[in-house]
Structure 1
């Protein structure tokens, strides 16, 4: 799903960017797509839950196990997490449909309610037996495609405890719902198997997310173009504007995490309803604020397609786009798998506060990382230039992934998120400011859409796909280590490529605009120079 969605962003950003530039509809599309985002996000909560089957068998012998076989084996990392769950309880409902098992329950379990001779004489009799199973997860066993969870004791509705022992191996079908979210996920997900694509809920979610993804992509690219248009010759102040997005993102993530945990209480499954109403309310405020924007959209200077096409033959622009793809590989992996990795590392205590931790994580990313670096982005770019800023982003990802691979306590991930300032704050400011500098007059939205589309549609899509394969094959720690090696290798390749292409200024002149690639000292001042050229 998250390999396909970025491709939609890749197509929609330049497409609607072109429409906004060609027909001068930036503000109209900005408001329309915000409305679509609000509606899509709010209605996600009404998609029915995917039916989860939790059918298992209760194998009763000298030792009794809950057995789950369909769905394939779990990896070593996940199996280690299962065994570390300790003692858990499972609400168990079994269909007792054979006299042998009824006899075992009567004689060995010492449950007199199953000693009625009438029950044993009628071969068509079946009983639904409801009890609590107490599992000792450290005794769990995996044999090929089957998982065995050791049952230590059972407790019936009358609060009587029994040892589940049978003189001969006997099995009955059951369904369970356990106090461990991890065990429930393993049992339920294994039951879905390859039938996921046949479920209408999957396709309903994919359609809603696809529409919202197209709308979000258009909002961000058009919004950046509007921002640079309002800033005029003060393009270096873009970071001051963008940091307020980090404030909203971080603040709401912290509040949302706390709300979800508070509303969910001790429930095994989290209640996410607060975030749907929060998103609707704040997106409505967003639309009201956007409607008050006043600015003048410049008219195209010539053929937008022709101007952008000439821009794309610039060697340094090609390097810029490749850099956007490489950064997208890394950012896509973090977005989709960092929280997953955290939950794999968490203990049962951590799980109760997991959404709060994840909210705090985003809060540190924003307030400790993005906000200060967006604020300082103009100064940093003026000192470093776009070239060195690009290299810094790649190195930052390499260090960040290496730390993810090394840590085992999820709470220690909080200080690591300070690196978000380099890997996202500096990256995003570099990407959009340079796109604004090189864009032909009247094609600002088209170029903004192009660079971000390459980053998200190609880079993040590949990152999601590759990350999924690596995570499935090696687990979170090894996957992040592999990404660390990749990022550092790409960093050195980028440095050598820039040395090869090094020149004080590389220019291609066509019609009435000049595309510049800034040396370090000129990275920001070019914005004012471009205004003079226009």
Structure 2
């Protein structure tokens, strides 16, 4: 009883709504944000299209955050706008599920003669695979091909999986279950087969075509040499087990011109509204939190960690539910994700309605007060650091799950069936193994190291994390790497928010949080998504390697510049600047 009484005495009831807000808001939006890029991929968008979409979304936040932050500061509308944009986010994100998929046709032309091959145009696979590739072909109205299969194709022993195993372990299998005998006896016009493409048999033809020369084909359990006495052809739907080829097929399927489709613009519009809503809620929520904390911004991390708890729990739970509701379906069913978002954000709205922030100072000229910070080279370096962190975060937000899905397909063995559970587990480890402890400890770290040294630590962690992703072969090994999410997001976010709160002149807190968030997401994450989408055409490992090296280069520049600045008087935001603010605030 004494223990419970002591806890009650330490809890500040005024901060309970903020803790609940962080928990419910992140619990509701986490699955939608985490799975948004893979959901868009399933809707028929290529990596370039997804990168473009998610590069545009933070730009919307770039415009909305400072404008609405300044409006909130000028007219004391933090609470009203905070609530209004929660409702906007829930409505827009829930509506996304009703956007029709972008129509795709992953059709290839199969040509059979003395040799058999199929061509993909347009399409480039970046670095062409040098290993064995299996592609499932579903050919309709191909009676001439069926006749040649039954009369001319002979037995072969060349059917090998991508690792040199027998056909039983190949990552791609026929789905129809029809045997060769049944196919020939029924005189069917449709056929499903698996084309085995040996190493070195994938050739670039011109600038936009790939030719895959088939070594053997599997029809049911039979392994056949695909040679036709009478040259024939067929139009077939294709699915390959190689990530680069799959990306080329998706690019060709979308025609590389999604902007001509109304579905693309409808999706972009709804996601843009969602992102604007989330951006404003996050920046205004942080401003309200710092307002309630008063003279102890060091305690911000202990409020924000409740958001991490919600994120981790519901990401894992939602990923498992998506896999469960997708049993027996060709594609993942994300419906449960949208209903979880609607319920939790609605509950959060009701709780935040009870928030009663106190009076605070007003700035007579917000823009002039903010502009006073710009000539300071320390602020310039802080902005550059925010952009560098945003670049890395943009790649992780949009393409980490892509990379894990591609690794799961290459790994085979049923791993692909549980990709959403794996991705949910990734989010859970990020939260409970990394982000949560670092948010809790962020105040102590900042008090001991200061903001500048903490920023260097964050960049070093980014470099290590991204390079480790580039070395992955088994997607399950991503789980221990996610421990680095602590310094690269938990510590990074606390550092960014507290620095902005300390540097902001009185009465401009919401504006400052909006500007910092706009720079981080609208510039950094936006460019990170766009560049990541372009580089991902050359493969996930290559993309993460480039970003990892870039983070380490940014670290070197950051350290060198601050070594020069350290020789000047009144350098940086010192540990005493935050530790000295000792007005007691209960947690």
Instruction: State TM-score, norm by structure 2.
Output: 0.78
Q: Greater Rg, structure 1 or structure 2?
A: 1
Q: Could you tell me which residue of structure 1 aligns to residue 176 of structure 2? A: none
Quick one: structure 1 residues 528 and 301, their matched pair in 2 at CA, closer, same or farther if it must change by over 3 Å? farther
The residue aligned with 2:311 is: 249
Could you tell me which of 171, 192, 200 is aligned with 1:132?
A: 192
Counterpart secondary structure, 2:332:
coil
CA distance in 2, matches of 1:102, 1:412: 44
| Matched residue, 1:339 | 401
- 8 Å CA contact retained: 2:142, 2:191: no
- Residues in 2 aligned to 1:93 and 1:181: alpha-carbon distance in whole angstroms: 24
Summarize the Cα distance change of 1:390–1:224 in structure 2 as closer, same or farther, 3 Å threshold: same
* Equivalent residues of 2:137, 2:194 under 8 A apart: yes
Go from structure 1 to structure 2 and tell me whether the alpha carbon gap of 1:365 and 1:113 turns closer, same or farther (over 3 Å shift): closer
Match of 1:229 in 2: 291
Matching residue within 73, 84, 99 for 2:124? 73
Instruction: Kindly state the Cα deviation for residue 366 of structure 1 after the two structures are TM-superposed.
Output: 0.7
- Residues 58, 231 of structure 1: CA spacing in aligned structure 2 closer, same or farther, 3 A cutoff? same
How much has 1:51 moved relative to structure 2?
1.1
Q: How does 1:297-376 map to 2 (within 5 A)?
A: 297-346=359-408, 347-348=411-412, 349-376=414-441
Deviations 1:313-365 (A, max 9, x none): 22211211111111111111221221222222222222111111111111111
**Partner residue of 2:521?**
456
Matching residue of 2:555: 491
* Unmatched runs of 5 consecutive residues or more in structure 2: 1-52, 154-180
Counterpart residue number, 1:296: 358
Provide the C-alpha distance between the structure 1 equivalents of 2:75 and 2:319, rounded to a whole number of angstroms: 41
Across the aligned residues of Structure 1 and Structure 2, the Cα RMSD in angstroms comes to 2.9
Distance 1:31 1:505 in 2: 44
Question: Which of 513, 518, 525 lines up with 2:579 in the alignment?
Answer: 525
Flag the structure with more relative contact order, 1 or 2, with Cα contacts below 8 A and sequence separation at least 6: 2
Residues 147 and 256 (structure 1), Cα distance of their counterparts in 2 relative to 1, 3 Å cut: farther
Q: Per-residue deviation at 1:242?
A: 0.3
CA contact (8 A) 1:373 1:422 kept: yes
From 245, 248, 253, give the equivalent of 1:191: 253
Separation in structure 2 between the aligned mates of residue 188 and residue 402 of structure 1, nearest angstrom: 27
Q: Per the alignment, do residues 461 and 178 of structure 1 end up closer, same or farther by CA in structure 2, a change over 3 Å counting?
A: closer
C-alpha deviation, 1:34, in angstroms: 0.5
Aligned counterpart, 2:504: 439
What do residues 136-186 of structure 1 show as CA deviations (whole Å, max 9, x unaligned)?
35579323223437462446xxx99998652122113x3436596967765
Gaps of 5+ in 1: 115-127, 508-516
Go from structure 1 to structure 2 and tell me whether the alpha carbon gap of 1:181 and 1:72 turns closer, same or farther (over 3 Å shift): closer
Give the secondary structure class of the aligned counterpart of 1:167. coil
Distance in 2 separating the partners of 1:39 and 1:191: 31
Name the structure 2 match of 1:480.
544
Whether the aligned pair in 2 keeps the contact of 1:251 and 1:363 (CA below 8 Å) is: yes
Distance 1:316 1:530, change over 3 A: farther
Equivalent runs, 1:203-214 vs 2, <5 Å: 203-214=265-276
Query: In structure 2, how many angstroms separate the alpha carbons of the residues matched to 1:305 and 1:54?
Result: 53
Taking structure 1 as reference, are residues 177 and 470 closer, same or farther at Cα in structure 2, changes over 3 Å only? closer
How far, CA to CA, are the matches of 1:416 and 1:70 in structure 2?
38
Q: Does 1:143 align with 2:203?
A: yes
For the 8 Å contact 1:437–1:526, the answer to whether it is kept is no
Indicate yes or no: 2:268 matched with 1:200.
no
Aligned residue in 1 for 2:140: 93
Distance 1:181 1:284, change over 3 A: farther
The two structures have a TM-score, normalised by structure 1, of 0.85
Would the aligned equivalents of 2:296 and 2:583 in 1 still touch at CA under 8 Å?
no
- Write out per-residue CA displacement over residues 396-437 of structure 1, whole angstroms, 9 at most, x where no aligned residue: 111112212222221111111111111111111111111111
3-state secondary structure, aligned to 1:313:
coil
Aligned pairs (5 A) from 1:154-193: 154=219, 165-172=227-234, 174-176=235-237, 186-193=248-255
Does the aligned pair in 1 maintain the 2:110–2:236 contact within 8 Å? Answer: no
Number of the residue aligned with 2:78? 26
Taking the aligned partners of 2:192 and 2:258, their CA distance within structure 1 comes to 30
1:281 Cα deviation after fit: 1.1
Q: Distance in 2 between matches of 1:161 and 1:394?
A: 52
Which residue, out of 406, 419, 424, partners 2:489?
A: 424
- Summarize the Cα distance change of 1:223–1:470 in structure 2 as closer, same or farther, 3 Å threshold: same
Give 1:59 shift: 2.3
Structure 1 CA distance, aligned partners of 2:248 and 2:124?
10
Does residue 263 of the first structure (1) align with residue 325 of the second (2)? yes
Q: How many residues align?
A: 495
Residue of structure 2 equivalent to 1:400: 465
**For the Cα contact (< 8 Å) 1:24–1:299, is it kept in 2?**
no
* Map of 1:39 onto structure 2: 91
How much has 1:501 moved relative to structure 2?
1.6
Conserved 8 A contact 2:312-2:430? yes
The answer to whether the 8 Å contact 1:365/1:417 transfers is yes
Q: Aligned partners of 1:91, 1:103: CA distance in 2, in Å?
A: 16
User: Take 1:277 and 1:318, find their aligned partners in 2: how far apart are those partners?
Assistant: 42
- Relative to 1, partners in 2 of residues 1:56 and 1:179: Cα closer, same or farther, differing over 3 Å? closer
Contact 2:287–2:510, Cα closer than 8 Å, also in 1: yes
